[in-house]
Amino acid sequence: MPLNEIEFLQKLMMQHTSAETNYPNKINAAIFIDALYNWLFTPQIYNVHSTATIHETYTALQADFLPLLQSVLTDEATIHQQQTTFFNSIPNIYEALLQDAESVLNFDPAAISLKEVLLAYPGFYAVAIYRFAHQLQLQGVPILPRLWSTHAHSKTGIDIHPAASIGQSFFIDHGTGIVIGATTVIGNNVKIYQGVTLGAINVSKAMASIKRHPTIEDDVIIYAGATILGGETVIGNNSVIGGNVWLTYSVPPYSVVYQKNEIKVRDNRPITETFNFVI
């Protein structure tokens, strides 16, 4: 029998107040990660004019991060240790992100300056949020890494699972429609264009703990619309994967993989000349 209104409201109340539904605030999680990004890369928002101002904002960010951890963890000592570990990792993440931004500037002919990349490139933003989320994932903090990656996905159309492993100088061009699965491994100096999927062949729940997404070695370029699937699929270093390619097997280093299409062009202008077939 369907629940009546009172029964439904009581059930909802029980679920909302149970220990298993002690969820973090999604809005606050998004506000925090954007504030961290802005503190690192868009200082004009905070009117930065001294080291003291930078430190003041840094302290405020630490305070804002604490309740997010408290919403997913219970032990106070663990919470403070996780906070310390995350903020201690920020300098290294910052340096890695500057390398990502330099890769964009050096490779994309449309990029005018590093400032433009930091302020306006959705690919760089998505990679930045991924690197913060990945750090939390490595620390074993639940839920928050996915909230951050989902927030970046909603803003950019780029879906990078926080458990994926991505090397240095990673460049996403345009980015819309990119999907990078949880067990994907990406090397250094890899470049990916819009619409690329690095996914699994089998999405069975039984394979949750098995590597099911591909490995992309160093210096690989993957052009728009390519789909690469499978945990045993390895794209060898310095390979080029052409647009719209579908791959479920490995290719050796220095490969060029492309899909051969037949394109026909015909004249679509109206016929202005009268043909006389009388012989």
Confidence of residue 132 (pLDDT cuts 50, 70, 90): very high
Average pLDDT of the residues in 159-187 = 97
Query: How many alpha carbons fall within 13 Å on the CB side of residue 36?
Result: 25
Q: Which residues of 214-245 are buried (b: 16+ CB within 10 A; e: fewer)?
A: bbbbbbbbbbbbbbbbbbebbbbbebbbbbeb
Quote the Cα angle for 183-187-192, to 5°: 85
Q: What is the mean pLDDT of the chain?
A: 91
Residue 274 or 244, more confident: 244
Q: Judge contact between 181 and 161, C-beta under 8 A.
A: yes
- Choices 3.30.70.1060, 3.40.30.10, 2.160.10.10, 3.30.390.50: CATH for 177-261: 2.160.10.10
- Whether residue 268 is predicted with pLDDT greater than 90 in this model: the reply is no
Average pLDDT of the residues in 1-20 = 80
Confidence of residue 4 (pLDDT cuts 50, 70, 90): confident
- Which pLDDT does position 259 carry in this prediction? 87
- Whether residue 278 is predicted with pLDDT greater than 60 in this model: the reply is no
- Which pLDDT does position 171 carry in this prediction? 97
What percentage of residues in the chain have a pLDDT greater than 90? 75
pTM equals 0.89
Question: What values do phi and psi take at 35, rounded to 5?
Answer: -65, -40
- Which pLDDT does position 98 carry in this prediction? 97
Q: pLDDT tens-digit profile of 63-97?
A: 999 999 999 999 999 999 999 999 999 999 999 99
Average pLDDT of the residues in 18-27 = 76
Confidence of residue 276 (pLDDT cuts 50, 70, 90): low
- Whether residue 43 is predicted with pLDDT greater than 80 in this model: the reply is no
- Which pLDDT does position 119 carry in this prediction? 93
Quote the Cα angle for 91-93-99, to 5°: 110
- Which pLDDT does position 275 carry in this prediction? 54
CATH of domain 1-157: 1.10.3130.10
| Three-class SS of 50-76 | CHHHHHHHHHHHHHHHHHHHHCCCCCH
Each domain of the chain, given as residue ranges in start order, spans 1-157, 177-261
- Which pLDDT does position 187 carry in this prediction? 98
Q: How far is CA 92 from the centre of its chain?
A: 18
| CB-neighbour burial class of residue 113 (10 A; exposed 0-12, middle 13-18, buried 19+) | exposed
Confidence of residue 209 (pLDDT cuts 50, 70, 90): confident
